[in-house]
Structure 1
């Protein structure tokens, strides 16, 4: 029985302020990752990163909250999505969760979910302009939910932030407050009333003062002596945070001594001491303005209180690329900034290798209040911990990942590291950090940060790769010396000769070409011809810390690979690229709707010239290209349902001629292809939208279908792997639904049998774009957990759900 374990998951977070929460009991941080929910333990010493993805939602996850059920103490995870549903996840016996219940009712995107401590009442806000109140119940491990109330926002606005507050859990009436903010300048307060119904929230007050949309709301209990009241923090796109104090009973408003003191520019008073009076379950409460927190220079997305009850601290995350911790001065009571993490104003810029991260969307406290994390626009999580000795917040490793469809992955020729490329316009390098008998996978470099969606890539040896994008050309990159040294020290990857490698790379402001440090970039490229002097000057090289994988700050700016060459010729977006095993040829294709553009262009890697004429066989977009094990044959498949095989000329190795083609290879378009990694007999597989995998074997000068594997949905990717036996191969097939299956192929009769189908819980939730077995080379075996056991294989997958995953398959038959 083949066993499958997930070694690594890389996926970025959704840019939504409510799409993450940190559980105070288990230490699990859950965040929305495309239409999945990623689970990560930031305090885990092993630096494992994301250990599970919860699959279930059909669209992007936009709200995440943990809840402790009051009677049983059961921890539940609530997630809301653009698919208009709320899912309730319950812990299972392992370290994961399963979906126990789905709440249906909203007719728009779920923007926010609020839970009350010690209460089974939950509130949700949606883009349908309503807030809904739900009551959860658990009976014999079965979770049920009832919608108690639907509150329409009047005047109509979309709720973007909600906060629930049980005012007194010991009171049999259990009074509660609900604060609602969103696409309005006001914070609305709703309170429960004594009615015949179970729970009913009635509008109580409208808190005025903000000058833009409200993005975050958070309650905190504040006890001074015997007096207990509450503080509500509201964060807004007007760059300010307002604190409101909620008292039991009426409070006389404090008269302003000087009206001029209450004006912040303009004629309208921004600060007001007005007391807002409302009733909750028969008791009178009042809300007064407490403080205005100034300091951020851009929209504020989240504000969260320190869960440590002994500390009155507020953490805010802003689009100005900073996390700020606020607390009242112990002497004066004035709220001041005590710590600021992130970036300073002078470093702000575009979201590129020369600019900033594009703002922080989420800021969260750890359960003990000694760590904080933030999600940046790049989808990566940064983490800081408080060092008591130095009285300073030190940055530590977070998690990184793509935020849009991952379109291609390739192992380095020796299997030393994995490259990925994505529609989020970045290419990334992942490797295994080896230390003290343990290991973990991390992103070690971001070789390409681009202005176009990246579609495909392939390696050109141990220190070079080529990528194709929507910009209609291909770019070749060389590994910089710093990255080679980092990989050698932390991953035991032997580098190429250091003398041949460039030191590091910079990217000109607004440019697309990564330049080697020290290269003249002022007029060298026509992209820079009309720039001013200051814009064209590259930043000085930055030395990378060599004791751990790079932090996001370095990845986003200082791990680029310098560009070596551009390959022109195609008229449309690049759709496929393949490099021959001897690294002498590059074959490429582009999107096409006619014979004129559905050609294969070949490039000689010795001088990068295009080999004419182009190879023709297809009439529509070529979806996949691959060279045979000996490089004597080139296979192409396309949307026109046919495959074509080109043979290399023995006398002229740069010349290919059409050997054969099959215009009716599949009944629908062909999406993937792979050669068997054996010189004889010649066998390749094709994958089609007709839900089948076909194996083709060479007989005379043509290829015949010798076996067909029928699967449940369109097959989008294939990858072959050799085994210990020369007559057995393994074939991995990825489907449009995210399903991955492993098949055994017997040579030469091409008989197949299914060995394993990956459990849906550990499989991607969208189409598989690429599968890649890790080569069984010396460096790969040395770095692998399998320690050279050829019954253990490593399979990497890329998916449209933004994830890159590495699986370890053990107990394969030999």
Structure 2
């Protein structure tokens, strides 16, 4: 890191909501699909794991990812991914960096991909991809230095490929067997033609038995036999055994599959009944032939063959308990065979590890599963809030441990709402307001149970006295059909012991239990036991609230709603002491897209879809009055202004627009008031990025080498960092491309309000942290090394 300008500290993003979107390689790295990207998750990093990289080249949702596997390749270094854009991409890891090879041939959504290495050739590989247009394509690469070439297309007419798995028929011949499940509830088997010099797959058998779509397939070897596990939406799992026989030994009672030398008898060894919902995936243990199944009934089951009774039994059952969840999309074994990971409907990860006696839940990574639309540091930079169109507000914080590097995790989910979230404003460490697709603003305060757990997990000084009193809630719960987080007090918990069933007080989905945690909570705990109680609802807007902003002193809250008229485009100002509306600031005629208080809390800057900005200044009567605005004659921007920000000294402010311009403004007390600008004027020439739109901007909390530092987020997902002074103007010092920053629109950027790294008690004034969020479902935190900028 000696000469590096930055490092990625945290990537927060959940898995896509589809089967086959996660795979765990023998290299102990997990790849999973997240929006249009592939994320690389190292579960062994630090004490809680870390998403170390995101790979972005797809232009639509990634539906399937797999590590290329092979018995003679101990550690995989290639991933194949398929997307709704119709592209298949092979990612190759060399010297710590991934290169990509795009395979074009499909004209429709890619549903499933798989790939494997060939034993006889050095890094030669075969990749298969199935699309919604009813075909499977086979791609082949003779050696690692060659490109993949389309060798064959298997056409199924009007049948759609649901799942697929490729494997070697036996260790001696190295010939390929391909299993494809179609929407007619059948499995088609294809064998490599062993009489041909070229790769060619021929139909070999058709397996029937399931009564609904087959969503999961997986092969393993049992001695000289092959086992194929299939899981279906009929709630059943079937295990098919393929036994090799002499060519002449045909069996009329079983399905026969032939090669030029051998005949394979295929029969159902067992039907596993134990799930009460669709079974989306099956995965064999790489160490022993136990089978993991993941189902829509909120459980994952490990099945083991009992030799004494000659039966497959459900040996271990784990899963989600409570909360608003809908079960599992998939689950896989780790390379050690003693760890399993699954992901649910909301993309959240669940990991369990076997200690020899029990399977214990483990700390995992996670994040939002829809656009992350806003974020905010608490005033001291202790942790980070984020809100998303997945209808949740989440808190992210570092987890320091003595012997391992710091890892970031979600430590709280204060709000699980029923509307898509739009904005958040943080007043203090333990108090915030949020807005969603409704006319109401909701304010929240931290319960004592969250504060206790935060102090233990993050190992910070006890500041419980800031909010602790007799009225502080222990936690919060949400009624089954409600949207408001209701406070739960200690007396409520004591009353539970007086009833036979504690659920008589709280419905199953919202039941709160106070927990003492020493490590980041699991998904089930986050859903139910980290909610913050709602303290006040604020009414006043006529349409859905679009944006919020809090003053740096925490005394004021500004809010704006969606609007097409001047009446509803007014900014409402609230006093946070009593939550009363104290002013209505009128200037704009269309939706105010962002508001920003100056750091000294004396001015409010607003920008709008009407292509104007406005400044409201506090007068002697403690009222905010319109001091300046722009119009067509005085403005610089020609398109909607998306973002704005003040410099740390309250002397300058910047505005960013869809026209790709970033303008900087200042107040000149000596300027005569000649027009609507008042005493405000442009501070220098504007920055122009004509090929992109400026969607987010932030300023550093201090001067960097005597200059202002600006972070500029773009619609493309790129983030640029510029230094600026009146003398030196705009100097690009750092450019984060889509592979590092984001691959869709940057929604918000905010620097940590103080220098140094969150979670480290030792001050480090050479590091500045910046948080970013995007429409690509991700939130990221970067360390900027000030000396190298």
1:567 aligns with 2:567: no
Distance 2:317 2:88 in 1: 35
Q: 1:110 to 1:538 in 2, by over 3 A?
A: closer
Q: Matched residues in 2 for 1:335 and 1:764: separation?
A: 46
Query: Aligned pair 1:516/2:487, yes or no?
Result: yes
Question: Hey, what does 1:431 align to over in structure 2?
Answer: 397
Note the C-alpha offset of 1:654: 4.2
Gap change, CA 1:540 and 1:162, over 3 Å in 2: closer
Cα distance change of structure 1 residues 659 and 487 upon mapping to structure 2, 3 Å threshold: same
The reply on whether 1:709 has 2:709 as its aligned counterpart is no
In structure 2, the CA distance between the partners of 1:157 and 1:64, relative to structure 1 (3 Å rule), is same
The answer for the alignment partner of 1:453 in structure 2 is: 420
Partner SS for 2:400: strand
**Helix, strand or coil at the partner of 1:722:** coil
Q: How far apart are residue 198 of structure 1 and its match?
A: 1.1
Could you tell me how far apart the structure 1 residues matched to 2:570 and 2:682 are? Answer: 25
| Larger CA deviation: 472-481 vs 748-757 | 748-757
Q: Which string of whole-angstrom CA distances, capped at 9 and with x for unpartnered residues, describes residues 50-97 of structure 1?
A: 111111111111111111478887631111111111111111212x42
Contact 1:193 1:200 in 2 (8 A): yes
Cα pair 1:718 1:731 within 8 Å, conserved: yes
**Quick one: distance in 2 between partners of 1:220 and 1:725?**
58
| Aligned-partner Cα distance in 2 for 1:296–1:726 | 62
Residues 68 and 118 in structure 1, CA contact (< 8 A), matched pair in contact too: no
Which of 625, 628, 643 in structure 2 is aligned with 1:656? 625
Residues 459-498 of structure 1 aligned to structure 2 (within 5 Å): 459-491=426-458, 492=460, 494-495=463-464, 496-498=466-468
The answer for the alignment partner of 2:772 in structure 1 is 797
3-state DSSP class of the match of 1:399? coil
Question: Which residue of 2 is the match for residue 220 of structure 1?
Answer: 220
* Equivalent-residue separation in structure 1 for 2:68 and 2:627 (angstroms): 63
Distance 1:330 1:30 in 2: 35
1:196 is displaced (CA, Å) by 4.6
Spell out the pairing of 1:177-188 with structure 2 (5 A cutoff): 177-188=177-188
Q: Aligned partners of 2:164 and 2:511: how far apart in 1? A: 46
For residue 307 of structure 1, what is the aligned residue in structure 2? 286
What residue in structure 2 maps to residue 81 of structure 1?
Answer: 83
Aligned to 1:257: none
Q: Flag structure 2 segments of 5+ consecutive residues without an equivalent.
A: 120-124, 493-502, 672-677
Deviations 1:701-753 (A, max 9, x none): 3321122122341111111113357953211111111111111222x658332
Match status 1:232 vs 2:209: no
Q: 693-702 vs 318-327, which deviates more? A: 693-702
Preserved contact between residue 250 and residue 263 of structure 2 (Cα < 8 Å): no
How do 1:607-618 and structure 2 match up within 5 A? 607-612=578-583, 614-618=584-588
Give 2:655's aligned residue: 686
Counterpart residue number, 1:529: none
| Cα deviation 1:746-782 (Å, max 9, x = unaligned) | 2x658332221124431111111000000117xx667
Cα 1:37–1:629 shift into 2, 3 Å: same
How far residue 540 of structure 1 moved from its aligned partner, in angstroms, is 5.7
Aligned to 2:30: 29
Partner of 2:314 in structure 1? 337
CA deviations over 1:368-426 (Å, ceiling 9, x no partner)? 101000111222211111111xx110111011111111000100011111000001111
For 2:122, the equivalent position in structure 1 comes to none
Alignment-derived partner of residue 735 in structure 1: 714
Q: How many residues align?
A: 752
Q: Give distance in 2, aligned partners of 1:472 and 1:282.
A: 73
CA distance in 1: counterparts of 2:294 and 2:431, whole angstroms = 38
Per-residue displacement from partner, 1:769-797 (whole Å, max 9, x unpaired)? 000000117xx667348x43333200000
- Which residue matches 1:372? 340
Gaps in structure 1 of 5+ consecutive residues: 255-273, 348-354, 522-531
CA distance in structure 1 between the aligned counterparts of 2:506 and 2:12, rounded to whole angstroms: 34
1:640-679 correspondence to structure 2 within 5 Å: 640-651=610-621, 653-663=622-632, 664-679=635-650
- 3-state SS, counterpart of residue 453 of structure 2: helix
Could you give the per-residue CA deviations for residues 658-690 of structure 1, whole angstroms, max 9, x where no partner exists?
5433443301111100011114xx310000111
Moved more, 174-183 or 5-14: 174-183
- Which of 718, 722, 732 does residue 697 from structure 2 map onto? 718
State the distance in 2 between where 1:512 and 1:55 align: 36
Change (3 A) 1:175 1:540: closer
- Equivalence for 1:242: 238
The Cα shift of 1:475 comes to 0.6
Shift of 1:501: 3.0
The SS at the match of 2:217 is strand
Q: Structure 2 matches for 1:246-285, cutoff 5 A?
A: 246-249=242-245, 274-285=253-264
Find the aligned partners of 2:781 and 2:136 in 1 and give their Cα distance. Answer: 40
Deviates more, 1:766-775 or 1:437-446: 437-446
The range that moved more, 637-646 or 753-762, is 753-762
Q: Deviations over 1:268-323 (max 9, x none)?
A: xxxxxx41123234532221111100000000110010011xx2200000011111
